[in-house]
A and B are shown apart, each in its own frame.
Chain A
Amino acid sequence: MNYFLPDASELLSAEESAVVQAKLWQLFKYRASCYLMNESTSMPESVAQELIKSICFTLGLALKAEQRSVRFLLDANFDALFRRGIRVIEADVAKAKRLLRIAKAGSPQIRNIYFEDTLNSISDFQKKYFYYYFAHEITCCIDYLLCTSVPEELFGVEYICEYLRRIIAENIFLACFEVQKVKSLLCHNHGHYKTMPLNLCEPVFINALGLALAGKEPRRLTLESSDCEKASAVIAIGGEAAIVQAAEQLCESLKISDAFAKRYFCNVAASQAIRLVGASEQGCLNNAFV
């Protein structure tokens, strides 16, 4: 319960927690008998664990969608809440399908087998996603790394939707640059970028960010040593805030209007800040760029 209905134990007293557990037990019994088609009264512990995770995940989704606190569980009809959770999942599955279409349509003209395999695997996600019993599972193979990974507290279709949103944001970003320039940058970064498990966007973003920090045209993608010095001076004065601000300016200059993409790249910049500030302090910022 703790994983998918967060802070439940903190918000509920011991007595209240017992009430919720009793309701959860009744729902588990019903779901388990449905899963076993009333043919058995016991199951391997590993399967029971997954069923409980799935029930808690589904209830948690319904609570989240209805913006209710964990205390709502005290009076809630768990069967009805579970059904509402299933409807949220079904809506999310449809959303994931739409997002996948957008992600595929906007894929960069740069090959990477991990990128392609991951999108193909997500295409099969729906076929293997048995959300009535295993809603929290991520039933596809996600090998392609993102600039910043999806938070670990997301599961099932929630994870897939968030992953695809991030892929779309990265696609939007990469589409702002000439393919040849991106290819040559990636090749410089790693000769076998087509067959390596690496992110296509990150080196492009880092160099573009460096140029934005130096006040240069980001589409150029290559930094001179003078650009590194200027970027280092800006970082020395403004620190992380300057880096995030440069990311905002970068999105504006690239005419990225998508709100999620803008927010995403500001977060990517913030996640890179420690590395960039550190390199700047050591006087080796040029090593941080490709």
Chain B
Amino acid sequence: MSQEYGFDLVLFQRSEGIAALQKANDFSQKFGLVLNDAEISALTERRFESLKSVGRVEFGEGILPKIIYTFADSPYLMKDNYFTMLDELQDCFYYYKNENCDVLSDDEMLSLMRQLFDNKAEGVIYKLCDLLTERFCGFAEETEEADEEGDE
């Protein structure tokens, strides 16, 4: 896409994303969760890979700072798994954003993820993914049923 329009999206997003993550670090520090420069850089790169793999484009600073603000006080996030968890939560967010056809806003999506993550998923990412799949498949069925009822 960037080449097609002579418009390098990634270039702009990268610098904005890094600055926002550094700012989010100040917040997460309160919970003993800090990303070093290498981790910030790696997460920023992973963001583009993740977006590319699900065919999405992001503008602004990215979803990672919001993930940090939403999940920083979760009992399941710890110093040792912080980087990996953020990476997986980011993947999960973009994937299920597509799966729910953008019906949920970012905030609604993160709030749902946090609620499931802390409760039924018990801080396990694959369980969270299963629950989200269940939720959105259910949502799709409900929508179809509602559409059918509407047609009638």
- Which residues of the partner chain B approach A48 to less than 8 Å between Cβ atoms? 1, 57, 59
Interface size on B, residues (CB 8 A): 26
Contacting pair B5 A44 (CB below 8 A)? no
Interface presence of B141 (CB below 8 A):
no
Stretch at the interface among A27-35, A134-142, A187-195, A226-234: A27-35
Q: Mark A1-41, 1 if CB is under 8 A from B, else 0.
A: 11100001100000001000110110011001100100111
User: Would you call A42 and B12 a contact (CB within 8 A)?
Assistant: no
Does A52 have its Cβ within 8 Å of any Cβ on chain B? yes
**Nearest-Cβ distance from residue B45 to partner chain A, whole angstroms:** 16
B60 at the binding interface (Cβ < 8 Å): yes
A1-B6, A2-B5 as given contacts; A41 in contact with B56, CB under 8 Å: no
Verify if A152 is at the interface (C-beta below 8 Å from B): no
CB distance from B22 to the nearest CB of A (A): 18
* Chain B neighbourhood of A29, CB < 8 A: 59-60
The smallest beta-carbon distance between A129 and chain B, in angstroms, is 22
| Contact assessment for A42 and B107 in the assembled complex, using a CB-CB cutoff below 8 Å | no
Q: Is A44 within 8 A of B55, CB to CB?
A: yes
Write the nearest CB–CB distance from B68 to chain A, whole angstroms: 14
A67 contacts chain B at the CB level, 8 A cutoff: no
In the bound complex, how far is the Cα of B58 from the Cα of A251, in angstroms?
55
Partner among A21, A40, A45 whose Cβ is within 8 Å of the Cβ of B7: A21
* Distance (whole angstroms) from the CB of A36 to the closest CB of chain B: 8
In contact, B105 and A44 (Cβ under 8 angstroms)? no
Do the beta carbons of B8 and A49 come within 8 Å of each other?
Answer: no
- Asked if A41 and B106 sit within 8 Å, CB to CB, the answer is yes
Contact with A along B78-119 (1 / 0, CB 8 A): 000000000000000010011000100111000000000000
Contact A49 B58 (CB under 8 A): no
Is A196 an interface residue, CB under 8 A from the partner?
no
Q: Which of A1, A21, A33, A45 contacts B56 (CB 8 A)?
A: A45
Per a CB cutoff under 8 Å, which of B51, B59, B98 touches A33? Answer: B59
* Across-interface contacts of A42 in B (CB, < 8 A): 51, 56-59, 63, 94, 97, 106
Closest-by-CB residue of B relative to A8 is: B6
CA distance A45 to B98 in the complex (A): 11
From B1, B9, B55, B105, A25 is in contact (CB under 8 Å) with: B9
Known: A8-B6, A44-B98, A52-B5. A39 touches B107 (CB 8 A): yes
Does A65 reach chain B (CB closer than 8 Å)? no
Please name all residues of chain B whose beta carbon is closer than 8 Å to the beta carbon of A1 when the two chains form the complex: 5-7
A136 to chain B, nearest CB (A): 13
- In the bound complex, residues from chain B placing their C-beta under 8 Å from that of A17 are 6
Distance (Å) between the CB of A93 and the closest chain B CB? 25
Q: Is A46 an interface residue (CB 8 A)?
A: yes
Bound CA–CA A41/B47 (angstroms): 13
Q: Which residues on the B side are within 8 Å of A161 (C-beta)? A: none
Residues of B within 8 A of A49 (CB): 1, 4-5
User: In the complex, A25→B4 CA distance in Å?
Assistant: 15
- A residues sitting closer than 8 Å to B (CB atoms) are 1-3, 8-9, 17, 21-22, 24-25, 28-29, 32-33, 36, 39-46, 48-49, 52, 56
Q: Which 9 A-B pairs have the closest CB atoms?
A: A39-B105, A48-B57, A42-B58, A29-B59, A25-B12, A1-B6, A42-B56, A45-B55, A41-B60
Residues of B within 8 A of A (CB): 1, 4-9, 12, 51, 55-63, 66, 94, 97-98, 102, 105-107
